[in-house]
Chains A and B, each alone.
Chain A
């Protein structure tokens, strides 16, 4: 059986691509056949990846697959390979789970759209390309998969092209995304000119020794290219424009899966290909980019009036957390980053799906217009609160578990090196988390609590087909939060050790002793040591008891206290806001909007916000310029300091 399981990586990628092709052949007429093909393709990929968990993650094998049996000869790997170590499989698991949930959700969510055969074909191609990227053992194949990924994502962003701004968002994504892809291509060309090979394992052996200006330029180009795929600063405005108009299932894919490809690329680049994570410049550089993305995007999210645009900025902010700790270069930091990357896919996926459910039920995403939906859509509201608590890092959800590790990693780094920079990083991470919580209080007030807009009086809860995927994600939000030590043991430790074990990765592909012949020392497994501890189950009990207490108080309090505003308004038949003390037109619907909650904060920061407002001009020329500037800055910094 194990001999055949060896084929599973390539079969999983091919099942998704074959599903896409079959779908466009047979799915045009019959919706049932189409759904069956899509489900089978996704399920095949999911099952194959899950079945690899035991050999790769638990037993620590590295699957090495040479397409067409073109194995390396005399230390030169010319053939195309797939190399699946624990790090690749970790990201592959994130991908297949997110794809499965998104696909199931699409069946109901997209049912009112036409030309669905194109949607599912593009969707499966996107999934296949992302899976191919994380499993690939060849740098150029990674580029090919990035290109397929970018173009299918652009097409899917513009799929509902009747939305205002859909084509504009897709166009921006296309232009600036191509800038990132080109940057990757230039980096690959420079590396190929220097080392004459494209195999990741062979490059990992050759590149650390080839310490010349050309490979430094290649590092800068590849870093900016992968960073643009993760929408790091200054590529983040793209994500907002694309997310706001894309269907919710595609927003899940873009935020949960595509950004992870960028993160995977950066981890492979720094830990495996160049192995320069121990240099202090690389640590400052990667961590700095992460901190800026994290902080800028969370403040940008504060001012948004569109539900999904706000979520998009938070998405980049959370990816900023991941990159921040990945840049620390310690085993604890990397495993915290991987944990947060996994959790980010789960809770951000859940939040995007609830936004999609709100949009499906009301037809609106405007935070100033929505309100009071908790009475109409209680299930969605509960799911949203789970997601919001997770992303804000409240115990006992998964966001807390990973953020707790992030704080510890930055704190330990600051303690060990005595460097003030890492103290700032730790504080910035804490502040960002607080701002995230504030921002989600605003969203829950604007969408689910407060007064119901009369326009949406006939809103109904979404159907079961959309709620089941959301419940799956909600369960995944709670479980890792309750059992972080199991996640650490089964997923994070193998993936972290695999990422740091470059000699093992090289020897698995090129034959044992190859890494030693390039003077790469054998890897000593690093201990992942947590300085703090907490009891997740106790926190769950506390949460349940507090919730029960609040419910009892609310029930005992009776109706007269809970519905003060509605009583007054039913007597006078007017909004009390427009009594004689206030002036204004009573005909306009208004509530205490979520955006009014933090007016003091916004007022004090008005100069910063107006600067950021002008900076995010929405002009594609400006965004391309920022991208080009990012490449230029990265090049200059890498040439001077690396």
Chain B
């Protein structure tokens, strides 16, 4: 496995190692702080999801394949959607309105902080799935020689 990674230049690998945690932490900060400052679930989620591009730049398509499970990401995207709806519905079942602030009643922060987290999680998983799809198109053909051989045989 190490061999495949060594194909990519060391500078981009080091840069990727350096910036990957920063991108993740900054994205999570934007998500968690979304209810009181500019930004929010969507923007933070996209920031976290962009980390996959750093992985791709540093370690190539193989690195992305080994470090992400697309199926799990897809499921967690759905879980985030369900979480959002359930958080909103709790308001109804505590005898209040849909989307109502039930946790921090009477305080400055509202339930949108929890919904923000769900949105952030959803966007992170969803955009990562999309990026994996796009990157898989970019990946070079695994067996280029076989195709050539077949074409020659056909000719």
Interface residues of A (CB under 8 A from B): 7, 10-11, 14, 17-18, 21-22, 24-25, 65-69
16 A–B pairs (Cβ distance < 8 Å), ordered by A: A7-B97, A7-B98, A10-B92, A10-B98, A11-B92, A14-B89, A14-B98, A18-B82, A22-B78, A25-B78, A66-B97, A67-B99, A68-B98, A68-B99, A68-B110, A69-B100
Known: A66-B97, A69-B97, A69-B100. A14 touches B78 (CB 8 A): no
Rounded to whole Å, the gap between the CB of A509 and the closest CB of chain B is 15
A7 touches which of B81, B85, B92 (Cβ 8 Å): B92
Q: In the complex, which residues of chain B have a beta carbon less than 8 angstroms from the beta carbon of A22?
A: 78, 82
Whether B92 lies near A68 (C-beta < 8 A) is: no
CB-CB nearest in chain B for A13: B98
CB-CB nearest in chain A for B93: A7
Rounded to whole Å, the gap between the CB of B95 and the closest CB of chain A is 9
CB-CB nearest in chain A for B75: A25
Rounded to whole Å, the gap between the CB of B99 and the closest CB of chain A is 4
Q: In the complex, which residues of chain A have a beta carbon less than 8 angstroms from the beta carbon of B88?
A: 14
Does B62 touch A at the CB level, under 8 Å? no
Centre residue among B75, B88, B97, B99 by max chain A CB count within 10 A: B97
Whether A21 lies near B82 (C-beta < 8 A) is: yes
Q: In the complex, which residues of chain A have a beta carbon less than 8 angstroms from the beta carbon of B96?
A: 69
Interface residues of B (CB under 8 A from A): 75, 78-79, 81-82, 85, 88-89, 91-92, 96-101, 110-111
CA–CA, A142 to B57, complex, Å? 42
In the complex, besides A18-B85, A67-B98, 13 extra interface pairs with C-beta distance below 8 angstroms are A7-B92, A7-B97, A7-B98, A10-B92, A10-B98, A11-B92, A14-B89, A21-B78, A25-B79, A65-B98, A66-B97, A68-B91, A68-B101
CA–CA, A22 to B84, complex, Å? 12
Q: In the complex, which residues of chain A have a beta carbon less than 8 angstroms from the beta carbon of B78?
A: 21-22, 24-25
Whether A17 lies near B85 (C-beta < 8 A) is: yes
Whether B82 lies near A68 (C-beta < 8 A) is: no
A21 touches which of B81, B97, B110, B111 (Cβ 8 Å): B81
Rounded to whole Å, the gap between the CB of A22 and the closest CB of chain B is 7
Interface of A is mostly: helix
CA–CA, A68 to B97, complex, Å? 6
Whether B85 lies near A14 (C-beta < 8 A) is: yes
Rounded to whole Å, the gap between the CB of A82 and the closest CB of chain B is 9
Q: What are the 5 tightest A-B residue pairs by CB atom distance, in nearest-first order?
A: A68-B99, A25-B78, A21-B81, A10-B98, A67-B99
Q: In the complex, which residues of chain B have a beta carbon less than 8 angstroms from the beta carbon of A65?
A: 97-98
CA–CA, A69 to B100, complex, Å? 6
CA–CA, A300 to B100, complex, Å? 52
Q: In the complex, which residues of chain B have a beta carbon less than 8 angstroms from the beta carbon of A18?
A: 82, 85
CA–CA, A22 to B78, complex, Å? 7
Q: In the complex, which residues of chain B have a beta carbon less than 8 angstroms from the beta carbon of A67?
A: 97-99
CB-CB nearest in chain B for A121: B78
CA–CA, A69 to B91, complex, Å? 10
CA–CA, A14 to B81, complex, Å? 11
Centre residue among B78, B101, B110, B111 by max chain A CB count within 10 A: B78
Rounded to whole Å, the gap between the CB of A24 and the closest CB of chain B is 5
Q: In the complex, which residues of chain A have a beta carbon less than 8 angstroms from the beta carbon of B111?
A: 68
A68 touches which of B75, B85, B89, B100 (Cβ 8 Å): B100
Whether A25 lies near B91 (C-beta < 8 A) is: no
CB-CB nearest in chain A for B98: A10
CB-CB nearest in chain B for A14: B85
Q: In the complex, which residues of chain A have a beta carbon less than 8 angstroms from the beta carbon of B97?
A: 7, 65-69
Rounded to whole Å, the gap between the CB of B155 and the closest CB of chain A is 31
Known: A7-B92, A14-B89, A69-B96. A25 touches B101 (CB 8 A): no
B85 touches which of A21, A66, A69 (Cβ 8 Å): A21
CA–CA, A11 to B91, complex, Å? 12
Rounded to whole Å, the gap between the CB of A205 and the closest CB of chain B is 23
CA–CA, A69 to B99, complex, Å? 8
Rounded to whole Å, the gap between the CB of B59 and the closest CB of chain A is 29
CB-CB nearest in chain A for B112: A68
CA–CA, A18 to B98, complex, Å? 14
Rounded to whole Å, the gap between the CB of B42 and the closest CB of chain A is 14
Q: In the complex, which residues of chain A have a beta carbon less than 8 angstroms from the beta carbon of B75?
A: 25
Q: In the complex, which residues of chain A have a beta carbon less than 8 angstroms from the beta carbon of B101?
A: 68
CA–CA, A588 to B81, complex, Å? 57
Q: In the complex, which residues of chain A have a beta carbon less than 8 angstroms from the beta carbon of B79?
A: 25
Whether B82 lies near A25 (C-beta < 8 A) is: yes
Q: In the complex, which residues of chain A have a beta carbon less than 8 angstroms from the beta carbon of B92?
A: 7, 10-11
Q: In the complex, which residues of chain A have a beta carbon less than 8 angstroms from the beta carbon of B91?
A: 68
CB-CB nearest in chain A for B83: A21
CB-CB nearest in chain A for B78: A25
CB-CB nearest in chain A for B77: A24
CA–CA, A423 to B82, complex, Å? 55
CA–CA, A66 to B92, complex, Å? 12
CB-CB nearest in chain A for B76: A25
CA–CA, A7 to B99, complex, Å? 12
Q: In the complex, which residues of chain B have a beta carbon less than 8 angstroms from the beta carbon of A11?
A: 89, 92
Q: In the complex, which residues of chain B have a beta carbon less than 8 angstroms from the beta carbon of A14?
A: 85, 88-89, 98
Q: In the complex, which residues of chain B have a beta carbon less than 8 angstroms from the beta carbon of A17?
A: 85
CB-CB nearest in chain A for B86: A18
CA–CA, A7 to B96, complex, Å? 9
Rounded to whole Å, the gap between the CB of A126 and the closest CB of chain B is 16
Q: In the complex, which residues of chain B have a beta carbon less than 8 angstroms from the beta carbon of A66?
A: 97
Q: In the complex, which residues of chain A have a beta carbon less than 8 angstroms from the beta carbon of B81?
A: 21
CA–CA, A17 to B81, complex, Å? 9
Rounded to whole Å, the gap between the CB of A301 and the closest CB of chain B is 41
CB-CB nearest in chain A for B97: A69
CA–CA, A18 to B85, complex, Å? 7
Q: In the complex, which residues of chain A have a beta carbon less than 8 angstroms from the beta carbon of B99?
A: 67-68
Rounded to whole Å, the gap between the CB of A63 and the closest CB of chain B is 12
Rounded to whole Å, the gap between the CB of B20 and the closest CB of chain A is 29
Centre residue among A7, A10, A66, A68 by max chain B CB count within 10 A: A68
Q: In the complex, which residues of chain B have a beta carbon less than 8 angstroms from the beta carbon of A25?
A: 75, 78-79, 82
CB-CB nearest in chain A for B99: A68
CB-CB nearest in chain B for A80: B99
Q: In the complex, which residues of chain A have a beta carbon less than 8 angstroms from the beta carbon of B89?
A: 11, 14
Rounded to whole Å, the gap between the CB of A568 and the closest CB of chain B is 55
Q: In the complex, which residues of chain B have a beta carbon less than 8 angstroms from the beta carbon of A69?
A: 96-97, 100
CB-CB nearest in chain B for A23: B78
CA–CA, A22 to B110, complex, Å? 26
CA–CA, A11 to B88, complex, Å? 11
Q: In the complex, which residues of chain B have a beta carbon less than 8 angstroms from the beta carbon of A21?
A: 78, 81-82, 85
Rounded to whole Å, the gap between the CB of B109 and the closest CB of chain A is 14
Rounded to whole Å, the gap between the CB of B88 and the closest CB of chain A is 7
CB-CB nearest in chain B for A67: B99
